[in-house]
Amino acid sequence: MRTVGSALRLAALAGALLAPCAAQAARYVGIDADVRFEMLEGERSRARLHLLGASVRETIADSRGDRLILFGMVEARDDLSEVMLHELYARHKGPLGAWAVTVGRFRLPYGLMTDFDASRLLYGTPHETMLGMESDNGAMLSVARGAVNGAVSLTQGYGHHHPPRLPGHGIAMARVGVTPGETEEVSFGLSAAYGRTAHAHDAEMTTRRALVGADATFYAGRWLGRVEASAGRIDGRTTSAGFVALDAALAPGLDLNLAASAILNGPMSADEYFAGLTWRPRWLNVRGGYRHGGVDEGRHEVTLQAYRLFALGS
């Protein structure tokens, strides 16, 4: 795969350049599996392997405090019918993480997507509709100073569904976040995106996007909340989306999960509501939930999930 070859050559070059300064290295290997039993209205119930993922992270630190992080993640979805290289990048971090440069295929700096991944959860977010992708090929500059952090990226717009080509369609994104106070119980963010992305099923078809967004994450006792809103133009149509998720610790190892989202895309609209529970025994996470709505308005869905992450560090 050209994507893998190009990114590996890039990571090898970055490693060679920094090798003389390397003082220590740490490696993390993770494998996770997501098995689900789904009961969908109007369809036969079925059990399936929703996702099988594997990731490797290598961190090389030198005596000056600089760090080189090499990361790769491969995912196979829907009974292994779709295999994709989700992320593969090299990231050079300055001392104390004050700045970082990332090159390769990485998660995009927009809204909650910056540090919140719903792909292993039983509900979705509006990011697929608003942005068309979660990760993309290109370069990103990140900075952090006190309570303020930010990132700006310039990527091709192909996403993780298509291999990279030159020069690409081109899309820019940026996010500025603030975490006030010493407890870090609340954080806020403002995001923007402008450019073109490839269609999910055709790399040559493009979608024009001009979006702004705001997000917040907060802790309140046993509650963890996430809120995000985005609005703008997608292919000339006024589009807006909202998302909210609440998690509450009911007991040790048992959480209540609530989520809702709504999308208005020109004359079309879709909303989704979710309620469920997460139980965390020693060896795995067990989730169950009810979802209503989504693209197929009025559809009812009940899902049971067994999720396990195997991790090895050195």
pLDDT tens for 108-121 read 999 999 989 999 99
pLDDT (0 to 100) of residue 295: 54
Where in the sequence is the domain holding 62, given as residue range(s)? 2-313
How large is the average pLDDT for residues 154-165? 84
Q: Which of 113, 226, 217 is CA-nearest to residue 159?
A: 113
Q: Indicate the pLDDT class of residue 3, thresholds 50, 70 and 90.
A: very low
Give the domain CATH number at 112: 2.40.160.10
Indicate whether 296 pLDDT > 90. Answer: no
pLDDT (0 to 100) of residue 65: 66
The single residue listed with the structure tokens 């303020």 is: 148
pLDDT (0 to 100) of residue 23: 56
Indicate whether 215 pLDDT > 80. Answer: yes
Report the largest interatomic distance among the alpha carbons of the chain, rounded to a whole angstrom. 61
pLDDT (0 to 100) of residue 51: 95
Torsion sign (Cα): 231, 233, 239, 241? negative
Report the distance separating Cα 264 and Cα 192, nearest Å: 18
How large is the average pLDDT for residues 6-32? 60
Query: For residue 34, what are the CA distances in angstroms to 13, 51, 57?
Result: 35, 5, 21
Number of domains the chain contains: 1
pLDDT (0 to 100) of residue 13: 44
Predicted TM-score of the model (pTM):
0.86
Q: Express each pLDDT in 69-93 by its tens digit.
A: 999 999 999 999 989 899 999 999 9
Backbone angles phi, psi at 226, to 5 degrees: -135, 135
Distance, CA of 149 to chain centre: 18
Indicate whether 59 pLDDT > 50. Answer: yes
Q: Indicate the pLDDT class of residue 9, thresholds 50, 70 and 90.
A: very low
pLDDT (0 to 100) of residue 168: 82
Six-digit token pair at 142? Answer: 């990140």
3-state secondary structure of 90: strand
pLDDT (0 to 100) of residue 191: 98
